């Protein structure tokens, strides 16, 4: 069914979470190293993109929303590059610098359009810097329609419980992309968006959709959530709420790269909800947007034009 998407230019999204710099080294692979049985990549192009919460913010902006990003980075080249990239994307960015922190960098080596290696550089941010970020959160809360908390387990959301409490007290919907198995810290959020493996980590395995619905209902009640959206890869995605389960099958597309698809899902949900769309219809749009980005390499975005084109 085709759905008209209303103007998103007045929708205001606040994104808070772990940001990282995705760095790609592209090159040719024509031989195996004489030193070890590994391919030799002759790098001919380097590309950088915002990752983590930065990719979430970029996806919101690509859909036409006004976006503010609140995060912590190191006082280093990667942090400065992230600031420039976010500015280029038209995102209002508040980057708290921690001199003791190295900005998280994920370096991917690509040869013949395949990822050959990923190297991660990271360490946890300082607690005092995070406390200052909490004060900024309070300041920016009034000027947004929806809050996204993007947890990549890098330490940037140490105060997430306080953020959820304050946002909900202010009447703002809070969407959380969770990480790890301690979901108690997300209690009171409007919506969680775990993927299939993350859901299994928390509730255990399920035999069929009936058992999944039972486990989802129990988790939703335990955490006092309005809804739970489980992304299920080739099985599509399922929304669990007080009214039951709503399922969207996966969009039939050639899958090129699934990295960052979860960022696109939560970003699209937030923008559509901020524009007044119902949660089931917002999920449909998120499913279509995810179908667009998996056809692209690396952390990618779905523009409003691409999303509209995917309606038919």
Residue 103 CB: number of other CB atoms within 10 A? 26
Residue 92 CB: number of other CB atoms within 10 A? 17
Place of tokens 């960022």: 263
* CA–CA gap between residue 235 and residue 51 (Å, rounded): 25
Is residue 22 part of the annotated active site? The answer reads no
Q: Is 189 helix (H, G, I), strand (E, B) or coil?
A: coil
Q: For 41, what's the count of Cα atoms within 13 Å in the CB-facing half-sphere?
A: 19
Question: How buried is residue 154: exposed, middle or buried, by Cβ count under 10 Å (0-12/13-18/19+)?
Answer: buried
CB 220 within 8 A of CB 240: yes
Residue 36 CB: number of other CB atoms within 10 A? 6
Q: Point out the residues that are catalytic.
A: 263
């Amino acid at each position: 069914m085709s759905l008209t998407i209303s103007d998103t230019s007045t929708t205001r999204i606040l994104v808070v979470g772990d940001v990282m710099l995705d760095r790609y080294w592209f090159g040719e692979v024509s031989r195996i190293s004489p030193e070890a049985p590994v391919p030799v990549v002759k790098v001919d192009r380097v590309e950088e993109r915002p990752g983590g919460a930065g990719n979430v913010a970029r996806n919101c902006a690509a859909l036409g929303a006004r976006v503010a990003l609140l995060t912590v980075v190191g006082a280093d080249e990667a942090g400065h590059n992230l600031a420039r990239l976010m500015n280029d994307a038209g995102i209002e960015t508040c980057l708290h610098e921690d001199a003791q922190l190295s900005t998280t960098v994920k370096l991917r080596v690509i040869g013949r359009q395949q990822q050959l290696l990923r190297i991660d550089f990271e360490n946890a941010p300082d607690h005092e810097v995070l406390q200052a970020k909490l004060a900024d959160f309070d300041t920016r809360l009034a000027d947004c329609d929806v809050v996204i908390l993007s947890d990549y387990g890098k330490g940037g959301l140490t105060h997430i419980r306080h953020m959820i409490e304050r946002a909900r007290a202010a009447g703002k919907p809070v969407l959380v992309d969770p990480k790890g198995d301690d979901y108690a810290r997300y209690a009171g959020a409007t919506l969680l968006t775990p993927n299939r493996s993350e859901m299994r980590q928390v509730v255990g395995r399920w035999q069929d959709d009936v058992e999944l619905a039972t486990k989802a209902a129990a988790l939703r009640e335990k955490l006092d959530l309005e809804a739970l959206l489980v992304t299920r890869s080739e099985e599509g995605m399922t929304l669990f709420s007080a009214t039951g389960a709503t399922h969207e099958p996966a969009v039939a597309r050639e899958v090129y790269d699934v990295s960052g698809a979860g960022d696109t899902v939560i970003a699209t949900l937030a923008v559509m909800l901020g524009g007044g769309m119902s949660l089931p219809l917002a999920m449909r749009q998120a499913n279509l947007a995810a179908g667009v980005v998996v056809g692209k390499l690396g952390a990618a975005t779905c523009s409003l034009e691409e999303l509209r084109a995917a309606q038919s």
